[in-house]
């Protein structure tokens, strides 16, 4: 189905401004030496707000937009600029969350200034659910998309996240057609995303896209499930459904990675 044949899923937060007319957004946290959020060492900006309710989420404290701290675009860019000379050679900027595209106006302006003024590499970590609201040109200042596809079985995907799969697949296909570099992230959760047939569906899908649009997908990152965020659920008075779930075995992690590699996909 063409993107313009269906109403875009979800809603993007309208642009917001402070009393001085400066654009603002809500930030959960900042990490100045992130090593797992894209190539090299990254300035990682974690924004607040997410429409998903993933059962394994390790940052449920990012779900609500206004639990974050308000920052102006100017203040964020000034903070990034302190590290720009290092970031140009060592890594770059990654905006994650939460779900960054909930605050698309805010993060879009940060990406624009990071790219055009600071001249650093930029990466967006997203599940793409809201991307249909945005034109292709929105992504011009983004060098890399860290795309989360959490399951390839649509029923299991919705049970795991609370949202439908198709908007994410629509966005993936847009990225391939645009030639936008992708690192695909796949969280491996026993009982939820480790089924061999489900993994094969994703591997086959990516191989098909690779054949049609080569040199776009740079890697698949298989991320073993952990329970590091369980205490946050308890602090927020939320029931953590995966309390009895153990991390996947080394054998299962190896099998899943080999399923992608067998399709000619670089996987780590």
Concatenated DSSP letters of 107-140: HHHHHHHHHHTS--EEEEEE--TTGGGS-GGGGG
Strand partners, 148: 185
Residues in the chain predicted with pLDDT less than 50, given as ranges, are 1-5
Contact 105, 15 (CB under 8 A): yes
Please tell me the predicted confidence (pLDDT) of residue 6: 57
Please tell me the predicted confidence (pLDDT) of residue 1: 31
CA–CA dist 51, 162 (Å, integer): 9
Please tell me the predicted confidence (pLDDT) of residue 3: 37
Superfamily of domain covering 24-261:
Aldolase class I (3.20.20.70)
Please tell me the predicted confidence (pLDDT) of residue 10: 85
Longest dimension (CA), the chain: 56
Please tell me the predicted confidence (pLDDT) of residue 227: 87
CA–CA dist 167, 62 (Å, integer): 21
End-to-end CA distance of the chain: give it in Å, rounded.
32
Closest CA to 187 of 232, 231, 245: 245
Rounded to the nearest 5°, which phi and psi values hold at 264?
Answer: 80, 20
CA–CA dist 186, 6 (Å, integer): 27
Tens-place pLDDT, residues 118-152: 999 999 999 999 999 999 999 999 999 999 999 99
Tokens, residue 24: 């603002």
Please tell me the predicted confidence (pLDDT) of residue 22: 95
Task: Give the three-class secondary structure for 237.
Answer: coil
CA–CA dist 125, 57 (Å, integer): 14
Contact 223, 194 (CB under 8 A): no
Please tell me the predicted confidence (pLDDT) of residue 5: 44
User: Residue 98: is the preceding peptide bond cis (ω within 30°)?
Assistant: yes
Provide the residue ranges of all domains of the chain, joining segments of one domain with +.
Answer: 24-261
CA–CA dist 258, 268 (Å, integer): 10
Tokens, residue 21: 């007319």
Contact 163, 52 (CB under 8 A): yes
The whole model's pTM is what?
0.95
Tokens, residue 205: 């899908």
CA–CA dist 44, 97 (Å, integer): 10
Task: Give the three-class secondary structure for 201.
Answer: helix
Alpha helices in 123-195 (DSSP H): 154-161, 166-178
Tens-place pLDDT, residues 3-35: 344 568 788 999 999 999 999 999 999 999 899
């Amino acid at each position: 189905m063409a993107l313009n044949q269906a109403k875009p899923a979800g809603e993007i937060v309208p642009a917001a401004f402070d009393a001085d007319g400066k654009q603002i957004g809500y930030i959960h946290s900042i990490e100045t030496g992130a090593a797992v959020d894209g190539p090299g060492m990254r300035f990682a900006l974690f924004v607040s707000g997410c429409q998903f309710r993933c059962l394994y989420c390790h940052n449920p404290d990012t779900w609500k937009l206004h639990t974050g701290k308000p920052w102006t675009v100017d203040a964020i860019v000034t903070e990034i600029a302190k590290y720009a000379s290092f970031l140009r050679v060592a890594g770059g900027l990654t905006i994650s969350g939460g779900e960054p595209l909930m605050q698309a106006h805010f993060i879009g302006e940060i990406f624009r200034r990071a790219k055009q003024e600071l001249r650093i590499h930029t990466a967006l970590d997203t599940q793409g659910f809201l991307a249909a609201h945005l034109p292709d040109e929105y992504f011009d200042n983004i060098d890399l998309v860290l795309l989360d596809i959490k399951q390839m079985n649509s029923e299991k995907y919705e049970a795991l996240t609370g949202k439908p799969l198709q908007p994410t697949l629509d966005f993936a296909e847009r990225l391939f057609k645009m030639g936008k570099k992708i690192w695909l992230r796949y969280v491996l959760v026993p009982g939820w995303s480790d089924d061999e047939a489900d993994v094969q569906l994703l591997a086959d899908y990516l191989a098909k896209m690779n054949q049609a649009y080569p040199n776009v997908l740079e890697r698949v990152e298989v991320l073993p499930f952990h329970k590091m965020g369980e205490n946050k659920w308890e602090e927020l008075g939320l029931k953590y459904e995966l309390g009895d779930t153990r991390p996947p075995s080394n054998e299962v992690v190896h099998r899943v990675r080999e399923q992608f590699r067998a399709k000619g996909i670089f996987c780590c």
